[in-house]
Each structure stands twice: as C-alpha cells, then as structure tokens.
C-alpha cells in the first residue's frame, strides 16, 4: 500500500513550529504534543541526497505524478495493470538510458545481468505499487550493489527487494517488508540479510523510524482511543530519554507502551491484539513491558 511522503507543517496546537508527520493512516500528528489534525495540508517534501550528487542528471524532475495518480483508489478499484504495457516500458527505457548515461564503461556481461534485474524490477513494479522515482532509485542502488559484487552468492530478488525497501524508507514511505517479501517471493531472512549488507557496503543510511510514529500507527491499527494513544506517546518519550530503548525494535517498543497505556486507561486490549497490530510477537511485547515498567519505577523513585 502506498503512502504519501512526510508532510512537515506547523502544529496549530503547540504552535512552536513543531513537526507534524503524516503517518500511514493519513493522520497528521504532532511529534511533540501528540495533537492530531485531520485536514491534510502541507507541501510534500522530498529529498534525495544520494542522487543529488549526480551532477547533470535531473532525476528529481521525473514525472512521478503519473504513477501516483492511482494511489489509494487503485487498491479498491483494482490494479491499473492494463495500462502498464506501454507506459511502464517507456519508463523503464528511460531508466535504462539514464543508467547507461551514468557510466558507459559497463561490460557486456554486467549489462546483461543488470537488464535481467531490471526486467524483474519492472515486474515488481506491477505487483507492489512503485512510483517512477522509486523504480529509478532502486535501480540505482541495485547497480551500485552489482558493481561491488554484492549480488554474487545472493538472489537477485532479495537484493532488489532490499533496495526497494531502503528507497521506501528513505522517502518516508513506511512500506511494510511483508509486501516486498510476497512480491519478490524471497524468504524474510534473505531479504533482511540483503538489506543489512546493502546498508553497510553502500554506506546508505536510512532514517530510523520514529518510535512516536510507530505508536500512532499501531494505535490506529488496533483501534486504540485518542487519550490512550496520547498517554502512550508520553510514555515512549520517557523510554527514549532513559536510553534503554537503544537498539530495540521501535515497533516492539510501541506495542509495549501501548499495552501499558491501555492498562492504565482502563481500555482493555489483549497483548495478542496489539502485538499483531504492531507486527511483533507477544513475547517481545512482554519483554519490553517489563523493561518499561522498570524504568517507570526507577524514575518515580528518583523523584520521591
């Protein structure tokens, strides 16, 4: 499912120029005070630092609007795959042209395997909804991966999927890995491994997904009330401040915090419900829960 890029606007509640981030539910939520607005305004802000280093290519002007036009509705009406034939191939051709322009010293064999990969990428594009911009950036990453010999010994699809995931994360599109797993028909382990390798070897940095955003997302998935959500957001900020959240899966933290918040707010939700909404196991939720409760006890004791 496609999500729009992050919108950064001013929060009308706390006003202080706080950021408001468009989470996948389509809500706008202030990362500081938790205020929720329902109007969707603000200019879409996209940045692509990697490609910005390419001097003469005007990649950012590529027409993504066409691919995006079906966003949202198309998941209900059905895939616009019929129109894919001509349009996509044209887009892929332009991608090829650009890639070739970047480096004309490609060897024949490399180019052939590259082409195979891009054919697969084209297929993926029809399954998951990928904008032109995503396809191009994915292709760029894949090409770099192949240049460094990272593809050898791994499946091409895993690398492609990982590249897609990275691009989505960089663009603030919180796509799920599950979609990619299904589309690429790879094992999660392979995909995750490829993902880590790409990050390390290509020096890519993906913005850590914001735990506050995660709380909001999970809360919406699990139909948790506004007050409880707010409480959970406060709580997770404390957890982050305590420093004990380092290296933990933000989704797991979000789930645990929400569970505790539900207990406090007398809004009964089972661990299973919340864990499922967050895409983590109940075990993880419990472990984090214990840790968080420990933190809260410590802080309250230190206050007393």
Partner DNA sequence: TAAGATAAGAGGGACAT
Partner DNA sequence: ATGTCAGTCTTATCTTA
> Looking at 54, 238, 267, 282, which residue binds DNA (CB under 7 A)?
282
Among the residue ranges 65-73, 128-136, 151-159, 269-277, the one whose residues contact DNA (CB under 7 A): 269-277
Task: Give the total of residues touching DNA (CB under 7 A).
Answer: 20
Instruction: Check residue 293 for interaction with DNA (CB under 7 A).
Output: no
- Distances in whole angstroms, Cα of residue 91 to Cα of each of 121, 180, 218: 12, 21, 36
Of 270 and 297, the one with the shorter C-beta distance to DNA is: 270
> Looking at 33, 59, 271, 276, which residue binds DNA (CB under 7 A)?
271
> Looking at 34, 161, 211, 252, which residue binds DNA (CB under 7 A)?
252
Q: Which string of DSSP letters, residue by residue, matches 229-246?
A: HHHHHHHHHHHHHHTTTT
The H or E element that residue 30 is part of is strand 28-30
Counting runs of H as helices and runs of E as strands, what totals does the chain give? 14, 3
Distance from C-alpha of 186 to C-alpha of 157, rounded to nearest angstrom: 7
**34, 230 in Cβ contact below 8 A?**
yes
CB of 254 to DNA, least distance (A): 11
The C-alpha angle 85, 91, 97, rounded to 5 degrees, equals 130
Tally of residues, the chain: 304
Instruction: Write the DSSP symbol of residue 41.
Output: -
Of 36 and 177, the one with the shorter C-beta distance to DNA is: 177
Of 85 and 243, the one with the shorter C-beta distance to DNA is: 243
3-state helix, strand, coil in the chain (%, to 5): 60, 5, 40
Residue 190 main-chain phi, psi, to 5 deg? -65, -45
Among the residue ranges 14-22, 112-120, 213-221, 278-286, the one whose residues contact DNA (CB under 7 A): 278-286
Instruction: Check residue 286 for interaction with DNA (CB under 7 A).
Output: yes
Residues 65-124 that bind DNA (CB under 7 A): none
Q: Of the candidates 49, 6, 47, which has an alpha carbon nearest to the alpha carbon of residue 204?
A: 49
Distance from C-alpha of 32 to C-alpha of 20, rounded to nearest angstrom: 8
Instruction: Check residue 161 for interaction with DNA (CB under 7 A).
Output: no
> Looking at 138, 168, 216, 288, which residue binds DNA (CB under 7 A)?
288
Residues 2-31 that bind DNA (CB under 7 A): none
Of 118 and 165, the one with the shorter C-beta distance to DNA is: 165
Instruction: Write the DSSP symbol of residue 209.
Output: P
Give the position of tokens 């290519």: 57
CB of 86 to DNA, least distance (A): 41
> Looking at 44, 73, 101, 283, which residue binds DNA (CB under 7 A)?
283
Among the residue ranges 57-65, 81-89, 201-209, 247-255, the one whose residues contact DNA (CB under 7 A): 247-255
CB of 76 to DNA, least distance (A): 30
The H or E element that residue 270 is part of is none
> Looking at 29, 212, 235, 280, which residue binds DNA (CB under 7 A)?
280
Instruction: Check residue 296 for interaction with DNA (CB under 7 A).
Output: no
Q: Of the candidates 216, 213, 212, 226, which has an alpha carbon nearest to the alpha carbon of residue 267?
A: 226
x/- contact string, 187-216, with DNA (CB under 7 A)? --x--xx--x--------------------
Instruction: Check residue 289 for interaction with DNA (CB under 7 A).
Output: yes
Give the position of tokens 């999660």: 188
Query: Which residues of the shown chain bind DNA in the complex (CB under 7 A)?
Result: 189, 192-193, 196, 247-249, 252, 270-272, 280-284, 286-289
């Amino acid at each position: 499912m496609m999500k729009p890029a992050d919108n950064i606007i001013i929060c009308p509640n706390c006003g202080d120029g706080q950021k408001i981030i468009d989470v996948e539910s389509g809500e706008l939520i202030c990362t500081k005070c938790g205020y929720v607005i329902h109007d969707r305004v603000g200019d879409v802000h996209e940045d692509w630092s990697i490609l910005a280093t390419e001097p003469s290519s005007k990649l950012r002007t590529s027409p993504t609007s066409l691919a995006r036009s079906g966003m949202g509705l198309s998941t209900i009406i059905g895939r616009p795959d019929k129109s894919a034939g001509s349009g996509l191939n044209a887009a892929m051709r332009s991608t090829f042209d650009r890639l070739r322009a970047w480096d004309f010293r490609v060897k024949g064999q490399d180019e052939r395997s590259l082409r195979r990969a891009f054919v697969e990428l084209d297929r993926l594009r029809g399954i998951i909804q990928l904008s032109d911009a995503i396809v191009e950036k994915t292709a760029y990453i894949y090409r770099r991966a192949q240049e460094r010999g990272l593809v050898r010994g791994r499946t091409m699809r895993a690398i492609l999927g990982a590249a897609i995931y990275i691009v989505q994360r960089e663009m603030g599109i919180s796509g799920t890995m599950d979609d990619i797993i299904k589309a690429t028909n790879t094992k999660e382990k392979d995909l995750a491994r490829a993902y880590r390798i790409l990050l390390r070897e290509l020096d890519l940095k993906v913005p850590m997904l914001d735990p506050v955003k995660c709380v909001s997302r999970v809360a919406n998935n699990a139909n948790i009330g506004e007050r409880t959500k707010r409480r959970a957001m406060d709580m997770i900020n404390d957890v982050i401040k305590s420093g004990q959240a380092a290296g933990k899966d933000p989704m797991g933290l979000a789930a645990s915090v929400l569970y505790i918040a539900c207990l406090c707010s007398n809004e009964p939700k089972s661990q299973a419900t919340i864990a499922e909404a967050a895409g983590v196991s109940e075990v993880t939720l419990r472990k984090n829960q214990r840790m968080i409760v420990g933190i809260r006890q410590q802080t309250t004791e230190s206050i007393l």
